[in-house]
Amino acid sequence: MKRKFLVFFTLMCVSVLSLPLSAHHGNAAYDTENKITLKGTVTQWFWANPHCVLQFDVTDDHGQVVHWGAETENPTTMTHSGWTKTSFKLGDEVTVTMITVKNGKPIGRIVDVVLPTGQKLAGRVIPQLPPYNPDDPPKQ
């Protein structure tokens, strides 16, 4: 039953997070329309410029381990959202919501991370610039 619950939970996450959001990523490598949520085990926390990177292992339904890398913004920016060099330690079980790259590699940009304590850290997803619309309010 636990397994059914996990499958149900994962499906809910993927389906709900696939709804169009107001914010879209601006990096050409990413598929900004789809977000996924995965549970994994932290293997490295790279707290550095130009972007911090959280690496974590995810075990799929077949027992295969996939090594994911998910980026945030730089430490200066992330500090303002409560992230620190010690936000993660090796072995932490985390739940990561992210957008992923178009080429199918296990690379993402973090939307948010839930820590083992239940605390949620918000990422910084750069929105995609929408096509120019003459009806938009003028200038910024």
Partner 1 sequence: MLKPLIVSGLVLVLSIASPLARAQVAPPQSATAKVQTAATAGHAPLDHDGWGRPVTASTNGQKSAPAPRHDISGTWDPGDGGIQQLGARAMPEDGRPEHRLPYTPLGQEALNRAKPSNGLRSVLPAETNDPVVTCDPQGMPREDLYELRATQIIQTPEKVFLMYTFGKVWRVVWTDGRELPKDPEPRWYGYSVGKWVDDYTLVVQTTGLDERTWIDRAGRPHSSDLRIEERYHRVDQNHLELTVTIDDPQMYTKPWVALDKLQFELQPPSFDVREMICSPSEFAEYNKLIGNPASDKGHQ
Give residues in contact with partner 1 (CB under 8 A): 1, 5, 8-9, 12-13, 16-17, 19, 21-23, 26-30, 46, 48-51, 53, 55, 69, 71, 73-77, 79-81, 101-105, 107, 122, 124-133, 136-140
In the DSSP assignment, the letter for residue 34 is E
Q: Whole-number minimum distance, CB 21 to partner 1, in Å?
A: 7
Q: Establish how many alpha carbons lie within 13 A of residue 25's alpha carbon, considering only the half-sphere containing its beta carbon.
A: 24
Nearer to partner 1 among residue 27 and residue 34 (C-beta): 27
- Distance of closest approach, residue 7 Cβ to partner 1, in angstroms: 10
CB nearer to partner 1: give 45 or 92: 45
Number of DSSP helices (H) and strands (E) in the chain, helices first? 2, 6
Residue 23 CB, shortest distance to partner 1, in Å, is 5
63 or 103, CB closer to partner 1? 103
> How far apart (Å, rounded) are the C-alpha atoms in residues 99 and 114?
15
Tokens 């200038």 correspond to what residue?
A: 139
For 97, counting Cβ atoms within 10 Å of its Cβ (0-12 exposed, 13-18 middle, 19+ buried), the class is buried
Task: Quote the least distance from Cβ 53 to partner 1, whole Å.
Answer: 5
Residue number, 63 or 138, with CB nearest to partner 1? 138
d(CA 91, CA 114): 14
What is the spatial distance between Cα 44 and Cα 81, in angstroms, rounded to a whole number? 20
The secondary structure of residue 104, as a DSSP letter, is: -
CB of 44 to partner 1, least distance (A): 9
